[in-house]
Amino acid sequence: MIKYFLLFFLIVSVLFSAAQTNPITVYKKTSVMIPMRDGVKLYTAILTPVGPQRELPFLIKRTPYGANDGLPVDNAMFGITHGFAYANMAEDGYIFIFQDIRGKYLSEGTMQIHQPLIHAIQKGAVDESTDTWDTIDWLVKNIPNNNGKAGIVGVSYPGWLALVGSVDPHPALKASSEQACMGDLFLGDDFHHNGAFRLSYGMEYSYEIEHDHTTDSDFPFSQFDLFEWYKHLGSLKNVNEKYFHDKIPTWNNFVRHPNYDSFWQKNSPLNYISYSQIPQLHVGGYFDQEDINGPQLMYAHMEEKDTFNRNYIVLGPWYHGQWAHEKADSIGKISFGSNTAEWFKALQKKWFDYWLKGIGDGKFEEAYSFQTGSNQWKTYKSWPPKETETKKIYAGPNHTASFNRPVAANGQISFISDPAEPVPYRMLPIEATYGTGSRWRPWLIEDQRFVYTRPDVISFSMDSLTENITVTGNITAHVFASTSATDADWIVKLIDVYPDKDPDNLLMSAYQLPVAMEVFRGRYRKSFTNPQPLVPNKPEEFVIGLHQINHTFRKGHRIMIQVQSSWFPVIDRNPQKFVPNIFEAKESDFTKATHTIYFSAQYPTYVEVPVAE
């Protein structure tokens, strides 16, 4: 859910004239308030191509971020340029629809973040599915020169809207592409990961969306670097007491529902979406800093009942929504060797051209997956692919790692975890998530050497590889650990360490590239619904999913496992004293603890990886 504002809709909106610079094609913008079944009217911008009239399909994007942003005044003609995310589609002719969802910007009604679909169980109810149905019904009946077919697309929150809009679809809705869609908001996206609360993002985003429904709001921080600001914030209870004053509904839900109770379960798409009712193209990025889990989770969930072969997935080397930009050949210092955005947009056009125009043979691969490290696009008949061998990378003595299971009776390393001095999740400064100069987008590829020497960050490294190793599919960490306290967070990273002197790029020497990272809140080791305190100094196994990757660790590189217990302020500070509700913890609840990671025969810490044949 990025503050997307149609970022991929960066077109220069001017009256059509000879002075225009390199337009691909010319469109006209109009707008209308479309009535919903309950009488609420939604602001809708309509872009139609100028020229000979022909019947064309609709491509719809619904958004909470301002449908009119970047568009000219009504009845203006303007040139579509390459900066438009759907430029290649515009050239061949589509009717583009951008709509403010109810309760945001110019639309009527009220809005609260990510409400579940209820129309099937509550007679007469409205939700984002019914609003999509009503919108398409009006468009087909009232917009001239349409061919009676529509597709829906979106990135981030609009991606979730594309997903739920395809549930109980209007007969004219023929295809959907949810991109960077949120999945379960407690288990793995946006606001929580494995029960650990995403503080900086959760606080800033909920304020942005719900402080003023007519616009997006930046929280008025008093300083630029927010690492110390969040430390001085203290307990999470201070957010309402000092700043929000119970006026941000989503934040209040965080406080009232600290565990995976019926509130979060009912709000999960796993609960109200079952299968693909129309062709669905899921799109996600390995380095998505906001919704890394959603497309992977929803594809797998909907694949279980995909008897009609309508469920597909694309995974690329992208941060949140990067594929919708004009260029996506790298993130920071990590090059992908080609413009992956251009590749994706060609596939996206092929997808909608077939379902909405009948162009092409309709043959799509089940899964398209970019392989980082080798920098190649791969296709698979199933995802994750079945042609892999599961191997285990074990932590070992003297900060080593190998494919060999430990045989020693004893093996462990301890460190002090202090909530007063948490490990930063990226290099300082920590700018406001969407603020000036923010480096939020690329942080998942940041060189981990910035924390490598901290005593509370423990690393286990393999010897240099003598041959390439390609890992494709689900990564799972099994951490055997204990703490002197009654709660603890565990952050595990799988890292590609470049050669000490990289012959390909000297400036990349010894770079520590995280290819998979995740956090787990210890209290939820047995149940996300019923948390339990840890038993002091008792070794326990913590199983942590690190999501899906497709990465080649190249010859001469090393594979590293890294473990730590704080990731601040993207993850809130665990008090390390078990309290029923961390959102109501007192300052006195925050305490130092000694954490121990084990690598013995009885307690072997390892990361499970699917190695491609």
Q: How far apart are CA 600 and CA 580, in angstroms?
A: 33
Q: Hey, which bits of 507-605 come out as E strands?
A: 512-521, 540-553, 558-564, 593-598
Report the pLDDT value the prediction gives residue 22, as an integer from 0 to 100: 66
Q: How far apart are CA 484 and CA 584, in angstroms?
A: 22
Nearest Cα to 51, choosing from 95, 82, 84?
A: 95
Report the pLDDT value the prediction gives residue 114, as an integer from 0 to 100: 87
Residue with tokens 């990564």: 475
Nearest Cα to 288, choosing from 201, 207, 386?
A: 201
By the 8 A CB rule, do 224 and 431 touch?
Answer: yes
Which amino acid would we find at residue 52? P
By the 8 A CB rule, do 280 and 250 touch?
Answer: no
Rg, the chain, Cα only: 25
Q: How far apart are CA 308 and CA 289, in angstroms?
A: 32
Q: How far apart are CA 289 and CA 589, in angstroms?
A: 30
CA–CA–CA angle 537, 543, 547 (5° rounding)? 145
By the 8 A CB rule, do 344 and 308 touch?
Answer: no
Distance of CA 372 to the CA centre of its chain: 18
By the 8 A CB rule, do 283 and 295 touch?
Answer: yes
Same CATH topology for 25-183+268-380 and 388-612? no
Distances (CA, A) of 497 to 332, 559, 561, 566: 16, 6, 10, 22
Phi, psi for 376 (deg, rounded to 5): -135, 145
Q: How far apart are CA 189 and CA 201, in angstroms?
A: 11
Q: How far apart are CA 496 and CA 462, in angstroms?
A: 10
Do you know the residue count of the chain?
613
Give the SS3 label for residue 274.
coil
Beta bridge partners of 513: 496
Give the SS3 label for residue 29.
strand
Residue with tokens 């009535």: 35
Q: How far apart are CA 89 and CA 279, in angstroms?
A: 19
Q: How far apart are CA 313 and CA 304, in angstroms?
A: 14
Give the SS3 label for residue 99.
strand
Q: How far apart are CA 45 and CA 98, in angstroms?
A: 5
Q: How far apart are CA 35 and CA 40, in angstroms?
A: 6
Is 195-265 CATH 1.10.3020.10?
A: yes
Three-state SS sequence of 383-440: CCCCCEEEEEEEECHHHEEECCCCCCCCCEEEEEECCCCCCECCCCCCCCCCCCCCCC
pTM of the shown model:
0.95
Is 25-183+268-380 CATH 3.40.50.1820?
A: yes
Phi, psi for 42 (deg, rounded to 5): -115, 130
Nearest Cα to 23, choosing from 15, 34, 31?
A: 15
Q: How far apart are CA 538 and CA 595, in angstroms?
A: 11
Q: What residues of the chain score a pLDDT lower than 70?
A: 1-22
Handedness of CA 314, 317, 322, 325 (dihedral sign): negative
Report the pLDDT value the prediction gives residue 208, as an integer from 0 to 100: 95
Beta bridge partners of 595: 415, 483
Q: Hey, which bits of 101-142 come out as E strands?
A: none
Residue with tokens 């692919």: 385
360: its two tokens: 């092409």
Give the SS3 label for residue 203.
helix
Nearest Cα to 58, choosing from 176, 180, 181?
A: 176
Report the CATH number of the 388-612 domain: 2.60.120.260
Q: Hey, which bits of 102-237 come out as E strands?
A: 146-155, 173-179, 192-193, 196-197
Q: Which helix (H) or strand (E) holds 90?
A: helix 87-92
By the 8 A CB rule, do 67 and 60 touch?
Answer: no
By the 8 A CB rule, do 143 and 104 touch?
Answer: no
Where in the chain are the domains?
25-183+268-380, 195-265, 388-612
Q: How far apart are CA 607 and CA 497, in angstroms?
A: 16
Beta bridge partners of 514: 495
Alpha helices (H) in 211-364, listed in sequence order:
227-233, 237-239, 249-256, 262-266, 269-272, 294-303, 340-357
Report the pLDDT value the prediction gives residue 21, as an integer from 0 to 100: 52
Nearest Cα to 30, choosing from 8, 50, 53?
A: 50
Q: How far apart are CA 553 and CA 461, in angstroms?
A: 13
